């Protein structure tokens, strides 16, 4: 699997226009100053306007399935802009894949 590494500062959204933000994680490996995102990082979605039959049903979280890139941080697979994921409601109803709008390319290790 190939792609660009995702950092906590990557611009990710739900399929309805909400914005997904990564929780802080490992700080030893960074991309443009932001921690590298891994499959273990929770992503919280805010601002999703999705409704079903007039009832709000917003995306609130993203769960990722990291591919077999072979790159890990603390034993957990890193996320790439090509990694598969799913957005979910608070009731854990799947709502579609996340959309990666941008990913960083510069990597630094400290």
Q: For position 108, what pLDDT does the model report?
A: 41
* Residues ≥6 apart with Cβ < 8 Å to 106: 31, 32
Angle at 47 between CA 102 and CA 91, to 5 degrees: 105
Written as six digits, the tokens of 6 are 């995702």
How many structural domains does the chain have? Answer: 1
Q: Within a domain: residue 52?
A: yes
Q: Within a domain: residue 76?
A: yes
Q: Within a domain: residue 1?
A: no
Tens-digit pLDDT profile for residues 11-46: 899 999 999 988 766 667 877 777 888 888 889 999
Q: Within a domain: residue 80?
A: yes
Length in residues, the chain: 110
Tens-digit pLDDT profile for residues 68-105: 667 888 888 888 888 899 999 999 999 999 998 866 55
Q: Within a domain: residue 4?
A: no
Q: Within a domain: residue 66?
A: yes
41 neighbors 79 (Cβ within 8 angstroms): yes
Look up the domain containing 104 and give its range.
11-109
pLDDT above 90 (res 7): no
Q: Within a domain: residue 105?
A: yes
């Amino acid at each position: 699997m190939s792609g660009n590494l995702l950092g906590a500062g990557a611009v990710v959204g739900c399929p309805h226009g909400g914005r997904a933000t990564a929780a802080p994680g490992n700080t030893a490996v960074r991309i443009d100053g932001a921690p590298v995102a891994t499959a273990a990082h929770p992503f919280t979605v805010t601002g999703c306007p999705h409704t079903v039959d007039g009832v709000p049903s917003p995306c609130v979280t993203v769960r990722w399935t990291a591919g077999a890139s072979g790159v890990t941080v603390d034993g957990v697979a890193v996320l790439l802009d090509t990694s598969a994921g799913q957005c979910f409601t608070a009731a854990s109803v799947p709502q579609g894949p996340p959309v990666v709008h941008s990913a960083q390319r510069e990597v630094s290790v400290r």
